[in-house]
Structure 1
Amino acid sequence: MISEIKKTNTGITKHREETKTEIARCKEEIKKGRKETKAEMEKWAKSLEDNTKAQFELLCEEVRLISDTTISLANDMEERKKEVDNTLNVQSDSITNMEMKLKEMEKEILKLRGRSEDLEARSRRNNIRVVGVREGAETGKKLSDFIAGLLKEKLGLAVIPTLDRAHRALGARRDGNRVPPRAFVEVNSKRAAFKEARSLLRACKGIRYGLRYPATLVITPEGGQTKTFESPKDAVEYIKTSLTPG
């Protein structure tokens, strides 16, 4: 019995030694595994760090390139803006000069138009010339009324004709017996076109108006500013919209 116990103890002791040895071997393996794992982790971390650093440097380079490109584009846009501004300024000056020249041309055209109308009004195509009327026969009378009565009398008209304006031909007065008197000229081409406007003005109180030679309607409202019209249509529109019949 004792021998069996000793044998068992011996087996237990041997097993303990073997277990202890196995545990020591396992610890050594674990220690070795830890070192290898640590080395692998350090290697992986170093690789990750190097890769991240490279990626970061690459990203920084791209950002720098983008920044340089943006600055270049901004500078280019600024230069183009200056060019556009300069072009607009030049064009603006050119347009201003053209407008000034246009206004001068308009004034010249109006001046030439006035001269043309004056010449046209004095030509025989648009005027009635009455010759042979003694100088001074019209003294004390309104010329248009004098000529209207003369025409009615000499032409045997049933009614007195309506004349817009009458005047002696240009030149010095001729009172000599051997010198023919100056002819009477009556302007009637464009002045008659203001008939509607003058008819409307007659219904307006406090309005002074008249026809300026050769055919310009002048209207002066009471206490207002004088207006001149070469267009009968514009005159009628002004009267209807701005003046009140009395």
Structure 2
Amino acid sequence: MAALEKKIDAKFDAMQLTINNHRSTLEHLEQNATASAESVTELQAQVKSFVGQVSELTEKCTDLEGRSKRQNIRIAGIREGMENGQGAREFVAKLLMEVLGLDELPILDRAHRALRSRPEHFIARIHNGRTMENIMRKVSSQRKLTFNGRSIQIFRDYPSAVVKRWAAFARVRQILRDKPGVKFGILYPAKLRVTYSEGEKLFTDANKAWKFAVEQFGTDK
């Protein structure tokens, strides 16, 4: 019996040692898990902060780009070679004077064709802000613009990020178009304003605007 008790005590001591080792290991793992959770929480806060900063910087860059293009126009529909050897600035100035019936040639700071993906686009910077606004008034007053028998378009050269935001409202505008008593327009940089019988609504989220338009006016079908 004494020998058996001695063996049992030895095994018990060994088991106790193992349990103590496991307990120590578990405590160590628990500490590491707590530290990891705290690190993840801290990293999540940093990522959220960085996302906000990136979003803010993106908006500032878009705003700066928009300001730099404030007196830029795009002319679409001009085939390559229509310049007939003229310089880009001279050609665009004469085109604007002819198409819009301007009293004199507008002064352009620069003019060039767009990237090769849109070779039929001319981009020009109008030197004078008043001349720029006069050009845009002329454009809006004419339903159709043509040059050498070819239909063209003249519009402001907005940043691509702004154009993409506007495009997101396309299906909403399709619903609102021709609805009795409904007026809508996009405010710069990308805010849809809808005026109807119950008042005025402003949207920066295209999905929310879509939901509103469907609930109020039905689909475009």
Structure 2 counterpart of 1:219, one-letter code: R
Deviations for 1:132-162, whole angstroms, at most 9, x for unmatched residues? 559xxx9xxx9966544479799799x9x98
1:76 matched residue in structure 2: 25
Instruction: Please report how far the alpha carbon of residue 205 of structure 1 lies from its aligned counterpart in structure 2 after TM superposition.
Output: 6.2
Q: Which secondary structure state, in structure 1, belongs to the residue aligned with residue 192 of structure 2?
A: strand
Aligned twin of 1:219: 193
Residue in 2 aligned with 1:210?
185
Q: Which has the higher contact order (CA 8 A, sep 6+)?
A: 2
Contact 1:210/1:218, CA 8 A, preserved across alignment: yes
Task: Select 1:88's aligned residue among 17, 37, 49.
Answer: 37
Report the Cα distance in structure 2 between the residues aligned to 1:100 and 1:153, rounded to whole angstroms.
Answer: 48
Question: Residue 243 of structure 1 aligns to a residue in which SS?
Answer: helix
- Partners of 1:206 and 1:149 in 2: how far apart? 22
Cα RMSD for the two superposed structures:
4.4
Please name the residue that 1:242 is paired with: 212
Corresponding residue for residue 187 of structure 1: 156
Whole-angstrom distance in 2 between the partners of 1:205 and 1:119: 38
Closer/same/farther in 2, CA of residues 72 and 208 from structure 1, 3 Å limit? farther
2:19 maps to a residue whose letter is: T
Q: TM-score, normalised by structure 1?
A: 0.46
Question: Is the Cα–Cα contact under 8 Å of residues 218 and 227 in structure 1 kept in the other structure?
Answer: yes
In structure 2, distance between residues paired with 1:197 and 1:133: 39
- Give the whole-Å Cα distance in 1 for the aligned partners of 2:170 and 2:10: 87
Percent identity over the alignment is: 13
Structure with higher Rg: it is: 1
Shift of 1:79: 1.8
Post-superposition shift, 1:77? 1.1
Aligned residue for 1:72, secondary structure, equals helix
Alpha-carbon offset, residue 59 of structure 1: 0.8
Q: Which runs of 5+ in 2 are unaligned?
A: 77-91, 105-129
Relative to structure 1, the CA distance from residue 102 to residue 145 in structure 2 (aligned partners, 3 Å threshold; closer, same or farther) is closer
Q: 1:201 aligns with which of 163, 173, 176?
A: 176
Distance 1:152 1:219, change over 3 A: closer
Equivalent residues of 2:72, 2:157 under 8 A apart: no
Residues 65, 79 of structure 1: alpha-carbon distance in 2 compared, 3 angstrom cutoff: same
| 1:82-124: CA deviation from partner (whole Å, max 9, x where unpaired) | 0221133123212321221122112111221232244345324
